[in-house]
Amino acid sequence: MALLLAGLWLAEYIIAVPGFVLGAIIGANIGSAANDGQFGILSILLAIVAGALGAWLALAMFYLGVFFSGFSIGFVVGRSISTAIFNSQDTAITIGIVLGIFAGVLAIALWNNLQVVISAGVVAALVGETQGFSNRPELLILFWVIGIVTQLALLRLFGRPKKSVGSGDAHSPPPGSQV
The reply to whether 31 falls in a domain is yes
In this predicted structure, what is the pLDDT of residue 15?
A: 74
**Domain around 110:** 2-158
Report d(CA 75, CA 97) in Å as an integer.
5
- C-alpha distance from residue 149 to each of 9, 107, 117, 127 (Å): 14, 19, 9, 17
Per the structure, how many domains does the chain have?
1
Q: Give per-residue pLDDT as tens, 122-134.
A: 778 878 877 877 7
The reply to whether 174 falls in a domain is no
The reply to whether 164 falls in a domain is no
Q: How long a stretch of residues is the chain?
A: 179
The reply to whether 177 falls in a domain is no
Q: Give per-residue pLDDT as tens, 77-99.
A: 888 888 888 877 788 889 989 99
In this predicted structure, what is the pLDDT of residue 165?
A: 54
The reply to whether 178 falls in a domain is no
- C-alpha distance from residue 115 to each of 24, 54, 89, 90, 156 (Å): 25, 21, 31, 31, 15
The reply to whether 83 falls in a domain is yes
> What's the whole-number mean pLDDT along residues 106-120?
79
The reply to whether 165 falls in a domain is no
